Structure 1
Amino acid sequence: MLPESTEEPVYFLTEYLIEEREKPEKGSSEKGSSEYTVYRVKKSGDGFLRKVEALETIASGEEVVKYDKELNIKDRALLIETALKLCTGRVNTVIFTGVDRHVTIVHEPDPSAILEIEILDVAPPEPAWLSQVVRRLEASGIFGDLQVRFTENIVDLRRFEGEKSVFPCSSSGLEGKCLDSDILTEDGHLLVGCEISKTLFEMRFPELEYSFINICPFKSEIVVPSKSFITRCCRSEKSGLVNISGFEGAVVHWGASEYQVSEAVRNLVTRIRNKNSSAQDR
């Protein structure tokens, strides 16, 4: 509710106030739908209750709509995306109600505020392991405050299947030979793996000639990021924040836990936001 005057104190965290009032339908004596005015609060003082110095109108009347469903208002990207769909014509502000009945607003939603992060991985399994983990974490709401959205860049290794193809591990289910289960006796195989796979191949079959497709994101020509990314590597010492092909990224170990993946995403977002902020300050 809007205070009757600016003399009435407000809670110290209050940044905005929403005034709701009934408006009569044109040509009718009956009351119609509500209309809203959104104010920015200028306050002063200390303690839990602060004195209101002024109320600045930022949107009112036809500029404001109220979303008719409850949603997770901690998911900032979701709020921006939803508001963008509703901000047509004169509308520039959307009021949202959370599942906990708290209320927030989005004013002049800006899609550029949402940071896109690419999930860079290989398949099978299907879906790719890293994609499964990130999507589960995203659904839990753990990234809600980061204003991020994820896209997939998954390299399907099944295109390399064949009698002469060699893959690192038989658990992949790929059709061909595998370093952990097959003995090779002929030249001309195609090894699809990383640097460790290459080392193991040459240790086991030093006399054989072979071709090599590197799927390590640090050296690969096929597993390549196209934007800020998260990926994985079998060498734990490579884990952390990196820059590959000019894009900021985070690398987790192949055996990383959900917690470690979540932490890597958060560290990456912090790094990108800080760099963007520093660039704007110059």
Structure 2
Amino acid sequence: MIRIENVSTVFGTGDSRFTAVDDVSLEIPRGSIQGIIGFSGAGKSTLLRNINLLERPTSGRILVDGVDVTALDDAALRATRHGIGMIFQHFNLLNNRTAAQNVELSLKFSGVKNAAERRRRALEALAVVDLSDKAGAYPAKLSGGQKQRVAIARALATEPKVLLCDEPTSAVDPRTTASVLQYLSDVNARFGITIVVVTHEMNVIKAIADNVAVMEDGRVVEQFALTDLQQPGFSPATSIGRYLISDEISLDRADRKPAGRRLEGAHRA
């Protein structure tokens, strides 16, 4: 469904030149949920934005449903993007528009000219994420989880084949994270939409993804299926992979010295 071939993305020139994505190749099967994980600065969000050319790669090709999007002219690219929905970390809702109106905007931009049709499809999309009762609510009256569900509805309204999710749970609490991931999983199962999720949280990947690509310094350093994690004795091949799948927080406390008295003295000062 999505084929990334030797993609590199370079920002700046000369001494300020920075390679955000470095010769990445990745194949994402139709109807699957692909996780891309790595620390901040690993290049994962840039790679995600390469898929719909919000960031155009410096070199390489990206094929979506057999179409080389890197070879399209502006008009053809706009049309292709209608089939690629995107969910952002911080919702990107307009505060002066209701939930339904925010969803309708995506349909207006995708060329649906009939206002009644836009309204119908917006309400259908909100129903998918169980927000029919919030259609007339403004973002200020919605919780973080509800805002993200409106963002999911907005992405679904254009009936995409692909859904790109850039840190979709980073701005919500753990309980809301589970709810958002459940809706994404349901959308995948119900509509067969291919989903790509970028995150630095392994618990998100474990909950929803079929396959994992681990990124470090702009490169995909490891790939494995989530089912591999359930196999006795399986361990990621790279140190970054092993660290990311660990649920533990480990601190180096060897050189730590008691600081209580020093802090007390600081308060007196």
Q: Same fold (TM over 0.5)?
A: no
As a proportion of its length, which structure holds more strand?
Answer: 1
Give me the TM-score of the superposition, normalised by structure 2: 0.24
Structure of greater relative contact order (alpha carbons < 8 Å, 6+ residues apart)? 2
Instruction: Give 1 or 2 for the bigger CA radius of gyration.
Output: 1
The structure with the greater share of residues assigned to helix is 2
TM-score (normalised: structure 1) = 0.23
